[in-house]
Amino acid sequence: MSNTIQPRAGDMQQPGAGQRMPSPYSNGANSPTDLFAKLLAAQIQNQNPLEPMDASQFVTQIMMGQQTEALGVVANLTQNSAALMESMLVVSLGSQVGTQVMVRTDSLDLKDDTRNARIVLDNAESDVTVVLTDSAGNSHRIALGAQAKGDVNFTIDPEGLGLPAGQYKIRVETASGAKAGVEVEGTLENVRLAADGKVILHVAGVGDVETSSISSFLGRRPANETRKETV
């Protein structure tokens, strides 16, 4: 198991005390103020001397230029803050590497170990079935029977169900036809920032997921403990 935090290349460095945030126009591009000043100078040079522009119009244009630059600075600060938040989230989640989590998923990789899972029902159901479909399209059903509204815990025992190791799709069938998502327990193995800035978590037996797919953190489990939940 790889307990690593993988930061994104070129992560932002925060300015120290007394340092200023970098300007959004420090790459050599003209700032809106410079652009407005050039346009204003061109207007003055090319205006009709018989019908000169009103002074209030000059003031208005200057104010517009300053407001535009201010908005650009705010946008840059917001972007920097978002990048900092993402980095802090990676560090925070990195402390959870090695713990058990519940993940919302529609697929999982089964081996020979028993997997804890659960579904959440919005209403009571007279019949609930979990369907596992292998890569060949063969379906394997786990009958849970009648269930009350709320969490329904169950286990996936590959050996007991005669399921060979491999990748499976997982879904829920209910008597009413209502949809229900599946959450599977797995070990959080690493946390990283993707190229698009999203925080990605790798969960054993599930794969890469986004933070929104994690429904709960269950803490660390002793290596010699095997928990088996029943309905």
Most confident of 43-57, 80-94, 157-171: 157-171
| Same-domain status, 148 and 122 | yes
Count of structural domains, the chain: 2
Q: Higher-confidence residue: 157 or 23?
A: 157
pLDDT in tens, 114-169: 999 999 999 999 999 999 999 999 999 999 999 999 999 999 999 999 999 999 99
- The whole-angstrom separation of Cα 132 and Cα 153 is 16
Largest Cα separation within the chain, whole Å, is 95
| Same-domain status, 201 and 129 | yes
Instruction: Provide the whole-model pTM.
Output: 0.59
According to DSSP H, which parts of 31-54 are helical? 32-46
pLDDT in tens, 93-118: 778 889 999 999 999 999 989 999 99
CATH of the domain at 113: 2.60.40.4070
| Structural domain contains residue 133 | yes
Q: How many CB atoms lie within 10 A of CB 36?
A: 19
| Same-domain status, 173 and 194 | yes
| Same-domain status, 79 and 125 | no
Lowest mean pLDDT among 45-54, 71-80, 113-122: 45-54
Which domain does 155 fall in, by range? 100-219
| Same-domain status, 73 and 109 | no
- The whole-angstrom separation of Cα 110 and Cα 206 is 9
| Structural domain contains residue 224 | no
